């Protein structure tokens, strides 16, 4: 008869093996020539938290840990923090957006050219919070063309007005020119969603609100803010990789617009068998999760400033758009400064001064830049929580060629 300590160890090993974290899907086709985005559902987490995510060419047994871990020397890359949209849910469920950058698929493709396998691996490590072993969960990625057998995912979305502008200044009553959205995508599927308008006074959307619906867990999709619907669309995209969507006509916008408006492109989850994730396969409740049209990034809005006057691009003039004057921002939140670009400027400089006329913050930007998102800690550095801001245009020698007026801004808790 085996000693009780040996039996306990064997029993513990069986419990750990049966409690291993699982993932759906376990195998995905990926674009061999660019980026791919896939929604993954992990289940079976017990006192564990996600750690790093790695792409590699080979995996090996992770003993004394569980699962298979990357082989040193075959690592293609790590999931960048800016693409980490993972969300921990209830019941031991963890939702992850696997955004494979082109640099990873390029290395995998080069390895395949040298006679290695056409598969590579996405490995998520989960760390125990109670001193247990780490667990490595593997998703096999198969190199393929960007056609119908790859998940329908958005790898790039560019919104613009005519002349590639993202900020537009109009007189009150002027028609809004055509808006367009240029998509780069993988796979094939339904591109459906809606154009929305954020009016002055509406609560501004966050990055969470600007994510495509398929990039979120099912239970969080209904939590995104909704705004005035301008137009809906539903287009089937063939496996061509590129598509240009025309925005709403001028008649769709409210008459007599005045103030700062945001035009949002909201992408809803579309049906695609290659993009489905099944929580039931990993021991989690719920049916198939539709995730066609996922993306690893938020889609930035376009801005329309409608007022009594309009910036005509005259040299020496920079028109500030937002925050309005007087502006109020919440401490700890991101503040986005917007203005009209000035032709001929090599650089632009955002300057913020205190009420005592002391420079407290500045940022250098490209000459055609029209916006800047300040860090969330900016309000904590402003003496008295009130300041003034302006934008300067500089030539290639760093000489001042134009400057906006000063505009007030206050931070509140």
Specify whether 193 is located in the same domain as 170: yes
pLDDT at 386 over 60: yes
Q: Give me the domain span that covers residue 25.
A: 21-144
381: left (phi over 0), alpha (psi -120 to 50) or beta: alpha
Instruction: Decide if 10 is inside a domain.
Output: no
Specify whether 173 is located in the same domain as 256: yes
Q: Return the pLDDT at 13.
A: 42
Specify whether 204 is located in the same domain as 98: no
Instruction: Decide if 162 is inside a domain.
Output: yes
Structure-block tokens of residue 119: 């598969």
Specify whether 71 is located in the same domain as 100: yes
Question: Which among 402, 359, 409 is positioned nearest to 387, based on CA atoms?
Answer: 409
Residue 85 and residue 220 in contact, taking contact as beta carbons nearer than 8 Å: no
Q: Return the pLDDT at 307.
A: 64
Residues facing 197 on adjacent strands: 228, 263
Instruction: Decide if 6 is inside a domain.
Output: no
Indicate the residue among 112, 144, 176 that finishes a domain: 144
Q: Return the pLDDT at 245.
A: 95
Q: Give the total number of structural domains in the chain.
A: 3
Specify whether 166 is located in the same domain as 253: yes
pLDDT at 51 over 80: yes
Instruction: Decide if 28 is inside a domain.
Output: yes
What span, in angstroms and rounded, lies between the C-alpha atoms of 402 and 347? 11
The set of residues, in sequence order, having a beta carbon less than 8 Å from that of 225 and lying 6+ positions away, is: 203, 205, 206, 209
Region of poorest pLDDT, from 79-83, 123-127, 198-202: 79-83
| % of the chain with per-residue pLDDT over 90 | 27
Q: Return the pLDDT at 146.
A: 65
Specify whether 328 is located in the same domain as 291: no
Structure-block tokens of residue 293: 């049209």
Tell me the C-alpha to C-alpha distance, in Å, between residue 208 and each of 85, 175, 178, 221, 297.
10, 30, 26, 10, 10
Kindly report the CATH number assigned to the domain that includes residue 86: 2.60.40.10
Q: How confident is the model over 362-371, as pLDDT tens digits?
A: 898 887 778 8
Specify whether 175 is located in the same domain as 250: yes
pLDDT at 131 over 60: yes
Kindly report the CATH number assigned to the domain that includes residue 339: 2.60.40.1220
Indicate the residue among 144, 167, 200 that finishes a domain: 144
Instruction: Decide if 52 is inside a domain.
Output: yes
| Kind plus residue range of the DSSP H or E element containing 410 | strand 407-412
Residue 389 and residue 404 in contact, taking contact as beta carbons nearer than 8 Å: no
Q: How confident is the model over 3-47, as pLDDT tens digits?
A: 433 333 343 343 344 448 889 889 998 888 888 888 898 988 888
Q: Return the pLDDT at 181.
A: 95
Structure-block tokens of residue 8: 């306990």
Indicate the residue among 117, 144, 171 that finishes a domain: 144
Question: Which among 116, 136, 113 is positioned nearest to 62, based on CA atoms?
Answer: 136
Instruction: Decide if 13 is inside a domain.
Output: no
Q: How confident is the model over 278-336, as pLDDT tens digits?
A: 777 777 766 778 888 899 889 989 888 776 444 444 445 688 888 887 788 877 888 88
Q: Return the pLDDT at 183.
A: 95
Region of poorest pLDDT, from 7-11, 136-140, 344-348: 7-11
Specify whether 330 is located in the same domain as 384: yes
Specify whether 178 is located in the same domain as 119: no
Query: For the chain, what is the largest distance between any 2 Cα atoms, rounded to a whole number of angstroms?
Result: 93
Across the chain, what does the average pLDDT equal? 83
Instruction: Decide if 361 is inside a domain.
Output: yes
Model confidence, pTM: 0.68
Q: Return the pLDDT at 3.
A: 46
Q: How confident is the model over 8-20, as pLDDT tens digits?
A: 334 334 334 444 8
To which residue do tokens 């063309």 refer? 145
Q: How confident is the model over 171-217, as pLDDT tens digits?
A: 778 889 989 999 999 988 899 999 999 988 788 888 899 999 999 88
Specify whether 175 is located in the same domain as 292: yes
Q: Return the pLDDT at 4.
A: 37
């Amino acid at each position: 008869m085996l000693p009780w300590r040996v039996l306990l160890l064997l029993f513990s090993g069986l419990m750990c093996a049966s409690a291993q974290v699982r993932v759906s899907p376990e195998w995905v086709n990926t674009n061999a020539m660019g980026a791919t985005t896939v929604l993954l559902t992990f289940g079976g987490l017990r006192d564990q938290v996600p750690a790093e995510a790695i792409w590699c060419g080979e995996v090996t047994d992770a003993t004394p840990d569980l699962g298979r871990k990357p082989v040193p020397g075959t690592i293609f890359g790590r999931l960048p923090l800016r693409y980490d949209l993972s969300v921990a849910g209830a019941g031991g469920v963890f939702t992850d957006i696997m955004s494979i950058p082109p640099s990873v698929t390029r290395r995998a493709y080069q390895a395949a050219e040298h006679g290695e396998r056409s598969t590579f691996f996405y490995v998520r490590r989960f760390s125990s919070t109670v001193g247990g072993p780490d667990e490595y969960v593997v998703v096999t990625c198969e190199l393929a063309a960007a056609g119908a057998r790859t998940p329908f995912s958005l790898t790039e979305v560019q919104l613009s007005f005519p002349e590639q502008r993202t900020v537009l200044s109009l007189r009150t009553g002027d028609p809004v020119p055509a808006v367009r959205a240029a998509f780069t995508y993988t796979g094939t599927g339904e591109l459906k969603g809606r154009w929305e308008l954020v009016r002055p006074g509406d609560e501004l959307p966050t990055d969470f609100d600007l994510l495509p619906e398929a990039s979120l867990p099912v239970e969080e999709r209904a939590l995104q803010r909704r705004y005035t619907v301008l137009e809906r669309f539903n287009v089937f995209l063939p496996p061509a990789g590129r598509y240009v969507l025309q925005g709403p006509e001028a008649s769709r916008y409210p008459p007599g617009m005045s103030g700062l408006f945001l035009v949002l492109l909201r992408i809803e989850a579309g049906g695609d068998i290659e993009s489905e994730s099944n929580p039931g396969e990993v021991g989690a409740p719920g049916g198939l999760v539709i995730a066609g049209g996922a993306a690893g990034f938020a889609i930035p809005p376009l801005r329309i400033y409608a007022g009594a006057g309009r910036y005509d691009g005259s040299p020496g003039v920079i028109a500030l758009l937002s925050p309005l004057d007087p502006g109020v921002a919440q401490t700890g939140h991101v503040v986005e400064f917007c203005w009209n670009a000035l032709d001929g400027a090599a650089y632009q400089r955002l300057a913020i001064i205190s009420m005592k006329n002391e420079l407290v913050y500045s940022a250098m930007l490209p000459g055609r830049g029209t916006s800047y998102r300040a860090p969330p800690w900016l309000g904590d550095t402003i003496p008295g929580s009130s300041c003034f801001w302006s934008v300067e245009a500089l030539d290639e020698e760093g000489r001042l060629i134009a400057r906006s007026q000063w505009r007030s801004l206050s931070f509140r808790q």
